[in-house]
Amino acid sequence: MTIRARLTLDPDFRIAPVEPRLFGSFVEHMGRCVYSGIFEPGHPDADADGFRTDVLELVRELGVTLVRYPGGNFVSNHRWEDAVGPVEQRPTTLDLAWRSVEDNRFGLNEFMAWTAKARVEPMMALNLGTRGVAEALQLVEYATYPAGTRWSELRRSHGVDKPHDIRLWCLGNELDGPWQMGHKTAREYGRLAAETARALKRLDPALSLVACGSSNSSIETFGGWEAEVLEETYDLVDYISLHAYYDPSDGDTDSFLASAADMEHMIRSIAATADHVAAKLRSRKRLKLSFDEWNVWYQSRFGGESTLEWAKHPRLIEDRYDVTDAVVVGSLLITLLRNADRVGVACQAQLANVIAPIMTEPGGPAWRQSIFHPFALTARHARGEVLRVEPDSPGIATEKYGEVPSVWATATHDPATGALTLFAVNRHRDGPCELEVKLPAHLAPVEHLELADADPSAANTAAEPHRVVPRPGTGLWCEDGTATLALPPASWTMVRFAAAAKE
Ligand code: AHR
C-alpha cells in the first residue's frame, strides 16, 4: 500500500550550523578494532608505521572527522604508560573489560600518528575507573605540554618532540554501569569528575571536557545520574555524554526501524536535565551533548564479558549489517542533525571490525558494510545549516515506542552555494511513500540516491563486498517548487538540490 507524506524545505527556518564533530567514530582496544583493523604490520597494504592503507582510504571515504580512543570499557582499567616508549619494553597486560591479552604494541603515540594520516581529530578518554586525578594530569601533561617537565620530556624521549594537539577529553567511560571497572555512584563519580576537571583546566583552560552520562536509556539511574553528576560538574565541563545501541535481534522490525525515537527522547531528556541543573545553579551556560557511542548492535547475540576466554585480539562482536540496519543508521544520523543545536559531538561505535562500518581480514581485504553508506553520504553532503523540517506523514504503531511517524527526515542548506540536501527515511515496510517536498522554486535535483532492497536482509561480505550499495533513485518529479519523491518501503534516501542552470 502506498502512503502519502509531505514536508517543506525553507532555508529561513534554521536549527544550527552542521557541526563537523557530529561525524565522529570510535577506536577501542577491543577485539580486532585496532589489531588487524587499523593496524597490521606485515599486511601487504601496511605502511612503514604498520597502518593499513586500505583501511585509511576507507576511513577518509567514510568522512569521519573525529575518533574517540582508547575505550570504551577498556579505558577503565588501562594504564597509558604501558603503551608508550620502546615497543620491546612495553609489558603485556590483561584487559579486564574484554578478557583480552594486550601487548600494548599500539598506544597513544601510534594513535596520534594514525589520526594525522586519517585526517581526523582525536578525542581521548581518561581512566577514572581504577585511576584518578594524578594519573589524568600526568597523561595530559605527557601528551600536550611542550617541553621541560618530567612528563613532557618523557614524551620527547619517546621520539615525539612536539606536543599532541588534543582538545577533547572524556572524563572516564560509562561509570554508571555495574560492569565498569571502578563503577561508582553518581555522587562519587561527580566529585571525581569535578576534581579532575578542575585540575585539568588549571593545566590548560582551553581543554574541552566530557562528563560521563548514562550508558543507555533503560538503566535505572537514567536522568538522575546526569542531574547529580552535573550538580557537581556543570561549570567545569563542556559536554555530557550519551550512549545508545539498538538491537534488531528480537525480530520486532517496526520498533527497530523506529529506534531514532529513542535517540530523540534521550537527547531531549538529557538536554532538559542539563537545563534544569543550569536553572538551579542560576547558570546561563547551555551545556552541549556528546553522543559518543551510538550504533546498531546485535547485543543479545553477545553472551557478555564473563563468557569470554582470555585471548589476544579475539573476534568480538563482528556484527554483519544488512539493509534494514543501514536504514536505521541513516535515521540515527538524521536525528543527530535534527538536534544539532544541542548535540555537539557524536561517535559511531566502532570504526573497524567491532560493530563497524569497515571490515577487514588479517592479511586480506577490507570492505564496506551496508551501514558505511548512509554515514559516508551524510558526512559528505550535510553542509552549512540544518533546517527545521517537520514531515507530515501517517503514524506507525510500534511495540517499543508507541506511534511514530512513517517518514523521518532532515535537510541542510549551504548558504555558500545555495544547495539543499534532503535526507529521508521511510519506515513503512508494506509499500512506498509518495513524499511531496515544497522547496524554493529555483532549485532542481542534481543527485538522488537510495538504500533499499527487495531483500532487506542482504549484506556485504568479503566475497560480495558491493551487494548493498546506494543506487540512483528513480521516482522523482520536480515542478514549480514541488518535488514528488517515491521513497521505497523501509528505505533511506538522499536528494541534493541545486540552482537550476539558466537556459
Ligand atoms: O562499544 C562497545 C562497548 O559498549 C564500549 O566499550 C562501552 O563503552 C559500551 O558499553
Q: What percent of the chain has pLDDT over 90?
A: 97
How many structural domains is the chain composed of? 2
Boundary of a domain, candidates 346, 381, 416: 381
| Nearest atom in ligand 1 to 74's CA | 6
**Residue nearest atom 3 in ligand 1 by C-alpha distance:** 72
pLDDT number for residue 480 = 85
* Same-domain pairing of 368 and 391: no
> Which of 300, 306, 276, 292 has the alpha carbon at shortest distance from 179?
306
**76 close to 180: Cβ distance less than 8 angstroms:** yes
* Same-domain pairing of 394 and 374: no
CA distances from 283 to 186, 226, 230, 279, 405 (A): 21, 16, 12, 6, 36
Q: What percent of the chain has pLDDT over 70?
A: 99
If pLDDT is split at 50, 70 and 90, which confidence band does 304 have?
A: confident
Max Cα separation, the chain? 71
Domain that holds residue 418: 3-10+386-499
Choose the residue to mutate in 128, 174, 212, 298 for probing ligand 1, maximizing ligand atoms within 8 Å of C-beta: 174
* Same-domain pairing of 376 and 437: no
Count of other CB atoms within 10 angstroms of residue 343: 25
* Same-domain pairing of 438 and 483: yes
Quick check: is 415 in a domain? yes
If pLDDT is split at 50, 70 and 90, which confidence band does 379 have?
A: very high
Where are the strands (E) in 191-273, listed by range?
208-211, 239-246
- The Å distance, Cα 65 to ligand 1 centre, comes to 20
* Same-domain pairing of 188 and 149: yes
* Same-domain pairing of 289 and 401: no
**445 close to 312: Cβ distance less than 8 angstroms:** no
Boundary of a domain, candidates 381, 411, 433: 381
> Which of 349, 319, 328 has the alpha carbon at shortest distance from 460?
319
Quick check: is 19 in a domain? no
Quick check: is 236 in a domain? yes
* Same-domain pairing of 356 and 408: no
* Same-domain pairing of 196 and 309: yes
pLDDT number for residue 501 = 65
Rg (CA), the chain: 23
Rounded distance between C-alpha atoms, residue 287 and residue 230, angstroms: 10
Task: For cell 547558570, name the residue.
Answer: 283
Quick check: is 16 in a domain? no
| DSSP bridge partners of 179 | none
Catalytic annotation on 293?
A: yes
**Residue nearest atom 8 in ligand 1 by C-alpha distance:** 72
Cell of 483: 518535488
* Same-domain pairing of 395 and 319: no
pLDDT, tens digit (0-9, with 9 covering 90-100), for 118-129: 999 999 999 999
* Same-domain pairing of 294 and 436: no
Handedness of CA 69, 75, 80, 86 (dihedral sign): negative
pLDDT number for residue 305 = 87
pLDDT number for residue 117 = 98
Catalytic annotation on 57?
A: no
CA distances from 250 to 24, 109, 330 (A): 28, 41, 20
Rounded distance between C-alpha atoms, residue 411 and residue 235, angstroms: 33
| Nearest atom in ligand 1 to 215's CA | 10
Residues with CB under 6 A from ligand 1: 28, 30, 71-73, 173-174, 215, 293, 349-350
Quick check: is 156 in a domain? yes
Q: What is the CATH number of the domain that holds 376?
A: 3.20.20.80
- The Å distance, Cα 51 to ligand 1 centre, comes to 24
Cell of 303: 553472551
Cβ burial, residue 475 (10 Å; 0-12/13-18/19+)? middle
Rounded distance between C-alpha atoms, residue 337 and residue 412, angstroms: 9
Rounded distance between C-alpha atoms, residue 115 and residue 119, angstroms: 6
pLDDT, tens digit (0-9, with 9 covering 90-100), for 473-501: 999 999 889 999 999 999 999 999 998 76
Rounded distance between C-alpha atoms, residue 251 and residue 197, angstroms: 43
Q: What secondary structure, in 3-state letters, does 142-180 show?
A: HHHCCCCCHHHHHHHHCCCCCCCCCCEEEECCCCCCCCC
- The Å distance, Cα 187 to ligand 1 centre, comes to 22
**409 close to 95: Cβ distance less than 8 angstroms:** no
Average pLDDT over residues 176-204: 98
Boundary of a domain, candidates 328, 346, 381: 381
* Same-domain pairing of 207 and 354: yes
* Same-domain pairing of 370 and 442: no
Angle at CA of residue 297, ends 105 and 406, nearest 5°: 145
Average pLDDT over residues 149-172: 98
Q: Which of 28, 110, 293, 385 is catalytic?
A: 293
Helix then strand then coil, % of the chain, to nearest 5: 30, 25, 45
Is the pLDDT at 173 greater than 70, yes or no? yes
Q: Which of 174, 232, 264, 385 is catalytic?
A: 174
Q: What is the CATH number of the domain that holds 474?
A: 2.60.40.1180
Quick check: is 291 in a domain? yes
- The Å distance, Cα 241 to ligand 1 centre, comes to 13
